[in-house]
Amino acid sequence: MANNLLEHTLTQAFAALHAVSEDEIQQLSLIDCTLTLSVLPDNNALTGLRSRLAGRLWHQLNPRWIHGGDLGEVFLY
């Protein structure tokens, strides 16, 4: 029974993560986006979400941002 509960919970969690919209990803702060990406398991079911989070960071963390950014923030990300 415990395995069924765990499997059911993980299935629901993955379904909820798949439902995260692009607008919600764009509204995340850079630190929230970075932390979320770092804690998601490297799982085929989460590849799309991981790609969208990485894309958000890739677009934001460009040379112009790095040049003008706060030193602490630049090295944090």
The three-state (H, E, C) secondary structure of 14-58, written as one string: HHHHHCCCHHHHHHCCHHHHHHHHHHCCCCHHHHHHHHHHHHHHH
User: pLDDT digits over 58-70, tens only?
Assistant: 998 888 877 887 7
Write down the pTM of the prediction.
Answer: 0.73
Q: Is the pLDDT of residue 8 over 70?
A: yes
CB atoms < 10 A from the CB of 33, how many? 21
Domain extent at residue 62: 2-76
Domain count, the chain: 1
Higher pLDDT, 35 or 77: 35
What 8-state DSSP symbol labels residue 77?
A: -
Q: Is the pLDDT of residue 1 over 60?
A: no
User: pLDDT digits over 27-55, tens only?
Assistant: 998 889 999 999 988 888 889 999 999 99
